[in-house]
Chains A and B, each alone.
Chain A
Amino acid sequence: MDFIQANLPYLLAGISVGGQYALISIGYTMVYGILRLINFAHGDIFTVAAFFAVYLSATMPLIVSLPLTVVLTVVLGFVVERVAYAPLREAPRMSIMISAIGVSYLLQNLMWYITGGLAKQYVTIPWISSSVTLWGTTTKMVTLVTPVLTIILVVVLVQLINHTKIGMAMRAVSKDFETAKLMGIKIDAVISITFVIGSFLAAVGSMLYFSNYTAVTPLAGAMPGLKAFVAAVFGGIGSIPGAVVGAFIIGISENLLKAVGLTAFSDAFTFALLIFVLVFKPTGLFGEATTDKV
C-alpha cells in the first residue's frame, strides 16, 4: 500500500503528461504522413497557443478567451502552411525543411519580442486546475482529465480518418499527390485540413500542459515539443496510433524514472530512446517501411 501510495502520483503524472505529448505528437505525425515534412514549427505553435491564452485572458473572460485561443492557434497553423510550405510544394524536400526551421525561429523570436523574455503567469482554468484527492494522492484535476480527453479526441480523429470522405481523401493524398488530384481532390485543401487538425490538438494540449505550471516562457514549449516529436518517431512517424502509444510510453517512463530517484535522467531517457529507435528500428513501433512518394 505504501509502495502504491508512493508511486501513484508519478504514474498519474506520467499518464497525464503522456496524453499531453500525444496531442502534440499527432500534429507532427499527420503532417509527416502527408508532406513527408518534419514540421519544426509545431512545438512553437504549441507555445504560442499558451501566450494566446495568457494575453487574451487578460482582457476577456476565460469562456471567450480559451475558445478564441483554439481558433487563433488553428489560424496560425493554417497560415504557416499557406505562407511557408505551400509555395514549396514542388521544391526539394530540403527547402521546405529549412523553411520550417525558419518559421520555428521566427515564432520564438516573436514571442521573445512580445514578452520581453519575461515569464508570464499562465491562466488558472477553474475545475481543471482544482485539486482532487484520489486513493490518498492529491493531484490536479487536469491529471485525470488529460488522458480521458486525449483518448476521446484520438478516437474521434481515427473515425474521421477511416470513415469520412475527407479522411479518405487525406489517406489518398498521403499516398499519392498526383493520382489524388486526378480524382478531383484539391490537395492544398486537404493539406490545410491536416494542419488545422494538428494545430487544434496542439492548442488543447497546450492548455492541459501549461495548467500544470504557473508560468510560461518563449522556450517553455521546446522540451514537450521535442518529446512529442520523439514520441512520433518512436511510434513510427506517419502513424497516429503509433504517436499516441509512443507519447504515453515516454510520459510514463520519464515519470517512473523520477519515482525511482533518477530525476536527473528523465529527459536524457527520452533522447536515448530516440537514438535507440533510430539505430535499431528506424520505422518505429507502428511505422511502415518508408516509401518515398513518387
Chain B
Amino acid sequence: MSLLTVSNLQVSYGGIEALKGISFDVEKGQIVTLIGANGAGKSTTLRAISGLVPIKTGAINFDGRDITSLDTSRLVSEGIVMVPEGRRVFANLTVLENLKIGAYLRKDPQEVARTIDYVYERFPRLKERHWQLAGTLSGGEQQMLAVGRALMARPRLLMMDEPSLGLAPLVVRDIFAIIKMLAQEGITILLIEQNANAALRAADSAYVLETGRITLSGTGTELLNNQSVRDAYLGQKRERKRPAQA
C-alpha cells in the first residue's frame, strides 16, 4: 500500500521550472530514494511535499488523503517530517533543546520524555552532549541530531535530504545503518542522495530525477545494475574511470 503518492507535481521558481510534472509512489515501510545530479530538483521535491514551496499543479496524497494544500505545521502533525539539506540544527540551542523543539507540536510531556530516551538510546553521543550548544557538535554529530530531532515528531514518513553530504566515509556508513534501522522499526523513508551507490543499495525502490523529470524507476538493485545509471551516477564510466565519491 502506498503511503505517499505524488502525481504530476510541478514547481517553478519565478520563471524557472524546477519540477516539470513528476509522479512517484512511496510504499509504506519502504526506503525509497530519489537520485539525481546537482540541480535536478531533488530538494525541491521534498520542499514541495513539506509545504515549504508553493506547488503550481499536481496532487500529493498521504495515507489516502489529499494533503496538497496543507501548511507545513499541519503536515508535521500528520507525520510528514523532513531532515533538511545541510542538517540545519539550531546552533544557538542546546542539543536537548533541539530535540525538544522537534516535538514542538506534541502536547504530552511524559511521552515526549519517552521519545527523548528513545533517541538517546539510538544516539548515545547526543545524551553525552545534551547540554552543549548544537553549533559546537561535529558534522556527523549534527547529522545525528538532525535525525534525532526529526524522530521527536514521531514521523510516519521521514524525508531526508542528502544526509551523507560532507561527512567522512565512516560516518556515512553509520548514517545508512541508521536509515535501515529506522525503516525496520516501521518508519517509511524517502531519501535523497547524490551518493547514488549507497542510496541504491539501501533502497527498496528508486527513481532517477533529471532536470525536473523522472527518467527511470525500479528497485534499488535494478537501478544499481542499469547501465545508464552506472554511467551517469555511479562513477563507472567505461571510457574514463573516476574514483567513486564518498
What is the interface of chain A, defined by CB distance below 8 A to chain B?
165, 168-169, 171-172, 174-176, 178-179, 181-186
Contacts and interface: CB of A to CB of B under 8 A. Distances in A.
B100 A168 contact: yes
Given A168-B97, A184-B153, A179 B73 contact: no
B69 interface: no
B101 A168 contact: yes
Nearest to B135: A175
A182 B76 contact: yes
Contacts of B91: 175
15 contacts: A168-B93, A168-B101, A169-B104, A171-B93, A172-B101, A174-B92, A175-B92, A178-B84, A179-B84, A179-B90, A182-B81, A182-B84, A183-B104, A185-B73, A185-B101
A238 to B, nearest CB: 11
B144 interface: no
A184 B77 contact: yes
Contacts of A185: 73, 101, 104
Contacts of A186: 73
B30 interface: no
B72 interface: yes
Nearest to A181: B72
Given A176-B90, A181-B72, A182-B82, 5 more contacts: A171-B93, A172-B93, A178-B84, A183-B105, A183-B153
A171 B50 CA distance: 22
A168 B97 CA distance: 8
A184 B105 contact: yes
B102 interface: yes
A83 B114 CA distance: 42
Contacts of A178: 52, 84, 88
Nearest to B159: A182
A172 B104 CA distance: 11
B101 to A, nearest CB: 5
A-B CB proximity, top 7 nearest: A184-B76, A184-B105, A179-B88, A181-B72, A183-B104, A184-B73, A184-B104
Contacts of A172: 90, 93, 101
Contacts, number: 55
Contact of A176 (B50, B88, B100): B88
Contacts of B97: 168
Nearest to A291: B91
A184 B72 contact: yes
A163 B44 CA distance: 35
Contacts of B102: 183
Nearest to B73: A184
A169 B76 CA distance: 15
A169 B101 contact: yes
Contacts of A174: 92
Contacts of B88: 176, 178-179
A178 B149 CA distance: 15
Interface in B25-39: none
Nearest to A288: B92
B107 to A, nearest CB: 11
B36 to A, nearest CB: 22
Contacts of B104: 165, 169, 183-185
A185 B88 CA distance: 15
A208 to B, nearest CB: 32
Contact of B92 (A171, A181, A184): A171
A186 B82 CA distance: 16
Nearest to B72: A181
B50 A183 contact: no
A105 B240 CA distance: 66
A174, A176, A179, A181 interface centre (most CB from chain B within 10 Å): A179
Contacts of B76: 182-184
Contacts of B84: 178-179, 182
A179 B101 CA distance: 11
Contacts of A176: 88, 90
B90 A175 contact: yes
Contact of B50 (A168, A169, A175, A182): A182
Contacts of A171: 90, 92-93
Contacts of B92: 171, 174-175
A179 B100 CA distance: 14
B156 to A, nearest CB: 14
A174 B101 CA distance: 14
Contacts of A183: 76, 101-102, 104-105, 149, 153
A29 B50 CA distance: 31
B148 to A, nearest CB: 13
A168, A169, A183, A185 interface centre (most CB from chain B within 10 Å): A183
A285 to B, nearest CB: 18
